[in-house]
């Protein structure tokens, strides 16, 4: 059995999209599952639309996802002009391709005439029978494209997801395969390149299904091997309609920049058209490799749901080791915070369960590093009188002062604090204490805050709260830095 060789071949004419990322992942997983190889090709023959920044976006996205390609060098179509020219010349010399001199106006008139008769539009073949001598004379004075002389036949192939697919080439007509001898178009160059790379399987989106019979006939005309094909389902929005252009073409790297994890992105992407055994949802990379086969790929559209992506990110935030997450957190936090690694780790562990993305950490955690200003009214619990709130905070202060160790654990304070809270009313004690420690309406519980902040900082923040509640209170933000 021949070794599996697949490729991911994006055009750098836009950001690294969700659709492209899924195609890359499915090719990579198929290769890894089958013990094969995964290659990268940049299809940059469109000189006007291809941009270096888009290529960089694609490469960054692949590296972030961990989808390493096996060839050290990336193939770029822009560097293969002589190869395409030789293949085009071969077809022209053999009469399998020809120059077409029809103007856009002539082609549009033919198209309108065919449509008025209810005939699917295709090229009428006007220039197909020009002699080589006639074509050579015209070439010097008239612009021309190169068309493939499509053989009349039924093309049949076995799609690895959809089963048998049949197409009558009479419905296709003679397609344009190059703007000129030095500017090949997609359907031609992809056939030449797949053969050069010895690609055995082409796994791509359903939107390429109509290109497959064209590419099969071109490969056969060039005497090249025909790979096996698999066409992935469309990606749909939550409403089961075609995914909006914003989501489909928006960069996957936007999610990276928001602080989503690559593990979650891979997990989300793999479920866009494929499912594992037992319909599990949370999967590791190794589990995907072990289970991935195209037999479990679906024919129907795959639903893109950002809420599911956020949920999967939360699951992986809980599962990925803290050390790895802290390394990835660095671009999202102030440099000053990174000077306190032990404290940062404590804060991260306490906030980990409240985060949806790494990008949210700064907003959630900033009160640990600098107590924000807040109004005295935030310390008040419902109808509890201010005097009672002050007494409760003073009692909590005394409890912390009495703690024998400078380093306090939640377990040491838990019994006494909750016994006190049961006497005063839980909200009447725990609400003002939590606000005093965090300066926020929403935060972790007071015991967790005390353990992370430590004895001295906890007392300083409680005393500031008492000052705010007093008649001559002074406001000002404290800082650990």
Q: 245-319 in CATH: which number?
A: 1.10.1160.10
Cα–Cα dist 446/408, whole Å: 12
What pLDDT sits at residue 331? Answer: 96
Are domains 245-319 and 376-469 of this chain identical in fold? no
Cα–Cα dist 441/379, whole Å: 9
Catalytic residue among 47, 240, 245, 382: 245
Determine the distance from the C-alpha atom of residue 151 to the mean position of all C-alpha atoms in its chain, rounded to a whole number. 41
Question: Coil, strand, or helix at residue 54?
Answer: helix
Burial of 363 by CB count in 10 Å (0-12 exposed, 13-18 middle, 19+ buried)?
exposed
The pTM (predicted TM-score) of the whole model is 0.90
Does residue 132 carry a catalytic annotation?
A: no
What pLDDT sits at residue 180? Answer: 95
Integer CA distances (angstroms), 349 to 356, 361, 409, in order: 14, 11, 15
Q: Where are the domains of the chain?
A: 245-319, 322-369, 376-469
Question: What fold does the segment set 376-469 form as a domain?
Answer: Arc Repressor Mutant, subunit A (1.10.10)
Q: What is the pLDDT of residues 444-463, one digit of tens each?
A: 999 999 999 999 999 999 99
Strand partners of residue 97: 148
**pLDDT by residue for the chain (481 residues), tens digit each?**
689 999 999 999 999 999 999 999 999 999 999 999 999 999 998 888 999 999 999 999 999 999 999 987 899 999 999 999 999 999 999 999 999 999 999 999 999 999 999 888 999 899 999 998 999 999 988 899 999 999 999 999 999 999 999 999 999 999 999 999 999 999 999 999 999 999 999 999 999 999 999 999 999 999 999 999 999 999 988 777 776 656 655 689 999 999 999 999 999 999 999 999 888 999 999 999 999 999 999 998 888 889 999 999 999 999 999 999 999 999 999 999 999 999 999 999 999 989 999 999 999 999 999 999 999 999 999 999 999 999 999 999 999 998 877 678 888 888 889 999 999 999 999 999 999 999 999 999 999 999 999 999 999 999 999 999 995 344 434 433 3
What pLDDT sits at residue 472? Answer: 36
- For the beta carbon of residue 276, count every other beta carbon within 10 angstroms: 16
Q: What is the pLDDT of residues 32-81, one digit of tens each?
A: 999 999 999 999 988 889 999 999 999 999 999 999 999 878 999 999 99
What pLDDT sits at residue 248? Answer: 58
């Amino acid at each position: 059995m021949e070794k599996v060789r697949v490729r991911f071949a994006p055009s750098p004419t836009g950001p690294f999209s969700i659709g492209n990322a899924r195609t890359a992942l499915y090719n990579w997983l198929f290769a890894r599952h089958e013990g094969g190889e995964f290659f990268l090709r940049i299809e940059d023959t469109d000189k006007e639309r291809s941009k270096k920044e888009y290529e960089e976006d694609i490469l960054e996205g692949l590296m972030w996802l961990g989808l390493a390609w096996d060839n050290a060098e990336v193939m770029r179509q822009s560097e293969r002009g002589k190869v395409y020219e030789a293949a085009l010349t071969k077809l022209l010399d053999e009469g399998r391709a020809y120059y077409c001199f029809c103007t856009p106006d002539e082609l549009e008139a033919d198209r309108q005439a065919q449509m008025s008769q209810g005939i699917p539009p295709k090229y009428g073949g006007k220039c197909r029978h020009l002699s080589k001598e006639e074509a050579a004379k015209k070439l010097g004075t008239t612009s021309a494209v190169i068309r493939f002389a499509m053989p009349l036949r039924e093309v049949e192939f076995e799609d690895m997801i959809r089963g048998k697919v049949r197409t009558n080439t009479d419905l296709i007509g003679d397609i344009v395969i190059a703007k000129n001898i030095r500017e090949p178009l997609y359907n031609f160059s992809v056939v030449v390149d797949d053969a050069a790379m010895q690609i055995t399987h082409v796994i791509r989106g359903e939107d390429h299904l109509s290109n497959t019979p064209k590419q099969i006939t071109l490969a056969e005309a060039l005497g090249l091997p025909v790979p096996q094909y698999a066409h992935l389902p469309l990606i749909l929005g939550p409403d089961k309609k075609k995914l909006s252009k914003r989501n489909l073409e928006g960069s996957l790297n936007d999610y990276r920049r928001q602080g989503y994890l690559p593990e979650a992105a891979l997990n989300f992407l793999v479920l866009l058209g494929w499912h594992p055994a037992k319909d599990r949802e949370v999967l590791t990379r190794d589990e995907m490799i072990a289970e991935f086969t195209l037999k479990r790929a679906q024919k129907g559209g795959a639903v893109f749901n950002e809420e599911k992506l956020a949920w999967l990110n939360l699951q992986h935030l809980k599962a990925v080791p803290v050390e790895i997450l802290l390394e990835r957190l660095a671009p999202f936090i102030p440099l000053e915070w990174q000077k306190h690694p032990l404290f940062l780790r404590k804060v991260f562990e306490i906030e980990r369960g409240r985060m949806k993305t790494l990008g949210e950490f700064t907003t959630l955690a900033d009160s640990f590093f600098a107590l924000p200003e807040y109004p005295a009214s935030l310390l008040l619990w419902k109808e509890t009188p201010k005097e009672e709130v002050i007494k409760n905070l003073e009692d909590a202060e005394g409890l912390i002062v009495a703690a024998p160790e400078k380093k306090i654990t939640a377990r040491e304070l838990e019994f006494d604090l909750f016994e006190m809270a049961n006497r005063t009313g839980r909200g009447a004690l725990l609400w003002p204490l939590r606000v005093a420690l965090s300066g926020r309406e929403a935060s972790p519980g007071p015991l967790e805050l005390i353990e992370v902040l430590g004895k001295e900082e906890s007392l300083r923040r409680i005393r500031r709260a008492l000052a705010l509640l007093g008649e001559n209170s002074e406001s000002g933000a404290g800082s650990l830095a």
